[in-house]
Structure formats: structure tokens, C-alpha cells
Amino acid sequence: MAQPSIYQQVLDPANRANPYPLYAELRKTPVTREDDGTYVISTYNEIFALLHDPRVSSDPRHRPGAGGKTAQPDPGQPAPPLPFISRDPPDHDRLRELAMRPFGPPCTPGRIDGMRPWLVEITTGLIDKLADKNSADFVDDFAYPLPVTAICELLGVPLEDQPRFHEWADAIIETIDPATGTFEERARKRDEVNAELGQYFSHLVDSRVRQPGDDLISGLLTDQGPNAPMPREDLLATANLLLVAGHETTVNLITNGMLTLLRHRDVLDRLNHEPGLVTTLVEELLRYEPPVQMRTNRTTVADINIGGTTIPKGSPLALMLAAGNRDPSRFADPDRFDPDRTDNAHLSFLGGIHYCFGAPLARTETQVALAELARRLISPRLVADPPPYRPNPELRGPRHLLIEYDAVAPARQKTGQAVSSG
Ligand code: HEM
């Protein structure tokens, strides 16, 4: 049997706990071709260039799985629109701009900062619950509930509906996990959950049409700017996208954060006394242990010369973000976790037109969470290192993170002032 390629070894769940030596191997040849025609790109400059290249498409209809043909929807059954993460200009740009207006600057500058005191409150509540015991599964007890609650708040999902929403989020994540059944089973389950979620969002949109609130969906519905309002079907696809794109990614960042701090006790102690460190620390975490390790959703729509290779039109790409983040030609001492690093233009939120829409929220959530955890958990320690990982090579993160601690310090009186991100 042929020796598995380095890329195949990266995909192998047996290598999930530490894929970084494999990435170093990959970088020795910046562009490699797999037997199935996928081109694997592993060096910073080449990934960066392709992210900004208009000859690279995010639209799955350009996938060579369909023989390079653009799939046409069945005329009897118009397919629901793709979310903007899977579209190219000009549709991508129009929809993203519409979604951006109620989400952040310049139109709604206070949206994320306005969520900070509330995020502190949720974080405080989750840490309070840890005080009843001396050990916890950090993923289930902390990192998992926080981001989905934040997305509910953003979308305006009423409090009483949030448990159902958590269930859907869990179900979607499971269907992304290759270990949870056959491809067909997972696809069927995903369709079921998407149908239920679609119905739920549809009712939510109806209620916001009748009575707009201060949430993102209401913002999209009441927008008076150019190209507004967003068509209803696109709005439903956008709401679904925000849940999927913003959930497990943030779970993994917070969990990787805790894991990395427990492996670097000096940094954890520093964060406790110096909460302002959290801003550069979270950027370094993103570089060092990126929640999205690679993107495999792009296809070339023309021949592209890069890294001494011509990638032909219609080729699937695997952009190895985590390998680029540790490229020694871009980052000094890249395998060192350096919370003071300032020259840190990592690839973890990508770059170019699809740069992560939720980056300000993900950063704020993680900053709040890690600063509070460093302050309140007394003598936290890992029970197992490495922890068990989910098999997914793209959205990489621990499935469980068992920790022990001696005690939990009390919450501050005024939770709104509990942390400062510097
Ligand atoms: C640490 C957490 C996160 C990481 C590492 C992350 C990473 C990424 C990456 C790599 C992309 C590019 C995907 C692609 O084009 O192939 C992306 C796009 C996106 N992210 Fe995030 N994300 C995070 C959190 C969030 C959150 C909290 C939200 C929602 C509030 C969000 C919403 C989106 C959306 C809507 C896109 C599509 C942008 C576009 O196509 O223009 N993300 N994210």
C-alpha cells in the first residue's frame, strides 16, 4: 500500500492532538498536489496571496465534484440560497454589507462593546456554577454554553427558546463531526435540523416584522440603506450561518485558550495580575492554536501560478491556515507561545473578502472568559494532557477538557467592571 501523504496524515484523527510537526513537513513544499487533484498550500505568503485572489471561488457550484460544471437547481424545486460564506462577488459583497450594517461599525458601532457587560454576566454565572465542585469538563461546563448564548442574544432569540436553540446547535455540530455516523446519516440529520431551525427562524422573523427589537434580525428587517432590506430567504440563510460559523469555532478558541494557559502556568499567573495582557494573548492564541486549522471550500476558476506551480482551473484547494501561522519566514520563533507578540497578522480569521464577520465578537467573548477564569479559578490543573480531540481536522478542538481546581474565588460585586481587556 502506498505511504499516506503528509496531508493525509494531517487528516488522520490519530494525529489530531499535535499536527504541528506535520505542518512543518508540509511547508517544505509550499504547494503540493494530492492524488484526488486537491492542491495543498502550506506557507504564509502563498495562502495570503490566494485569499486575496479573485480567481479563487468559495462557491461550491464551482467544485469539480460536479465535473467542474456549475450545478443548476432543479427548475421544479428552487434550491434555497447559499449563505454569503459560500458565494462570490457581487452577491457575497452585497449580502455581507447588508449583514454588517446592524452588526458593527460604522453603522452600529456599539453592538459588540454593548454586549461586553452582558458577556461578563454570563461568564460569571458559568464560573459560579463551577464553585459547587472541584473538577469539571471545561468544554461542557463552560466553553460550550457561552458562544451559543451569545449568538442567541445577538439574533434576539428569546430566553425561553434558548434551550431548544442549544439543542439545534449541538445537533449541527454533531453532523459536522465525521465520527458521528456515515456521510449519508449525517447529511440526513443535518437536513432535519436545518428544516427545524429554518422554521424557527421563519417564526422569529415574522415576530420581528410585527415588533422590531434591538437585535440583528430586526436591524436587517428595518434597514433603509442601499440594497435593503435583505431578501427573506437570504436573511434565513444568514441567521443559520451565524449560528454555525460562530459556535464551535469560539468553543474551540476558549478551550484551546484554557489548555494553552494550563500548559503555560507563568502566563496564567501573569494574566491574573495583569488582565490587560488578554488582548495580545488572545491574538497569539488564535495564531498558535487556530480553531479553524484549514479551509477546503475553495476552488480555482482559472489557472494560477503560485509557489513555482501552476494550479489548473477547477482545482480544489486546501489552505493550511495553521501551517501558515507557524511559518518561520513570517513569524519569529513561531512554535513559541508568546502572549506579548505584537507583529501578529495571523490567518485564523482568514483574509480578503471572507474575513471572519464575527471576529470582534469572538475576540470579546474569549477575552472576557479567559481574564475571568484566570482571576477566579484557584490552582487549576489539567487531568489529562493531551485531552481527547474531536476527529474533525478542519475545526480542531478538544472534545473534553477535564480540569481540577482547589476553589473558585467569588465574583466581583459589580460584574460590569470585572474585567478590562486593556
Ligand atoms: C474564534 C472564533 C472564530 C473563528 C476562528 C472564525 C473563523 C472564520 C474563518 C476562518 C472564516 C472564513 C471562512 C471562509 O471563507 O472559508 C470565517 C468567516 C465567517 N465567520 Fe467566523 N470565526 C469565528 C467566530 C465567528 C463568530 C462568533 C461569528 C458570528 C457572530 C462568525 C461569523 C462568520 C461569518 C458570517 C463568516 C463568513 C464571512 C464571509 O463569507 O464574508 N465567526 N470565520
Give the model confidence (pLDDT) of 410-420 as tens digits: 998 764 444 43
Cα–Cα dist 114/356, whole Å: 20
Q: Does residue 8 have a pLDDT over 80?
A: yes
244 CB less than 6 Å from ligand 1?
no
Q: Would you say the CB of residue 152 lies under 6 angstroms from ligand 1?
A: no
User: How would residue 179 be classed by pLDDT, with cut points 50, 70 and 90?
Assistant: low
Contacts of 417 by beta carbon, 8 Å cutoff, 6+ apart: none
Nearest atom, ligand 1, residue 103 CA: 30
What is the model's pLDDT at position 107?
A: 80
Ligand 1 neighbourhood includes 292 CB (under 6 angstroms) = yes
**Average predicted confidence (pLDDT) for the chain:** 91
Tell me the pLDDT tens digit for each residue of 217-254. Answer: 999 999 999 999 999 999 999 999 998 888 889 999 99
CB proximity list for 344: less than 8 A, separation 6 or greater: 280, 283, 284, 287, 331
- What's the pLDDT score for residue 275? 94
Q: For residue 365, is pLDDT > 60?
A: yes
CA of 414 to the centre of ligand 1 (A): 32
Q: Do 357 and 350 form a contact (C-beta atoms < 8 A)? A: no
* Residue whose CA lies nearest to ligand 1 atom number 11: 356
pLDDT at 416: 46
For ligand 1, whether the C-beta of 51 sits within 6 Å is: no
Ligand 1, atom nearest to 350 Cα: 10
Q: Verify whether ligand 1 is closer than 6 Å to residue 350 (CB atom).
A: yes
Peptide bond into 30 cis (omega under 30): no
Q: Is the CB of 242 under 6 A from ligand 1?
A: yes
Torsion of CA 166, 167, 169, 172, to 10 degrees: 170
pLDDT tens readout for residues 28-49:
999 999 999 999 999 999 999 9
Whole-number Å distance, alpha carbon 76 to ligand 1 midpoint, is: 33
Give me the amino acid identity at 78.
P
pLDDT digits (tens, 9 = 90+) for 257-302: 999 999 999 999 999 999 999 999 999 999 999 999 999 999 999 9
- Is 104 close to ligand 1, i.e. is its CB under 6 Å away? no
Q: How far apart are CA 91 and CA 56, in angstroms?
A: 15
Query: For residues 23-55, b (16+ Cβ closer than 10 Å) or e, as one string?
Result: bbebbeebbbbeeeeebbbbbbebbbbbbebee
pLDDT at site 418? 43
Q: Provide the b/e sequence for 65-77 (b: ≥16 CB within 10 Å).
A: eeeeeeeeeeeee
Q: What is the pLDDT of residues 272-283, one digit of tens each?
A: 999 999 999 999
pLDDT band at 177 (very low <50, low <70, confident <90, very high): low
- Percent of the chain past pLDDT 70, that is, above it, reads 93
Q: Which atom of ligand 1 is nearest to the CA of 298?
A: 16
* pLDDT tens readout for residues 61-120: 998 764 444 444 455 666 788 999 999 999 999 999 999 998 887 788 888 888 999 999
Burial 380-396 (b: 16+ CB within 10 A, else e): bebeeeebebbbbbbbb
Q: What pLDDT is attached to residue 181?
A: 72
Prediction pTM value: 0.93
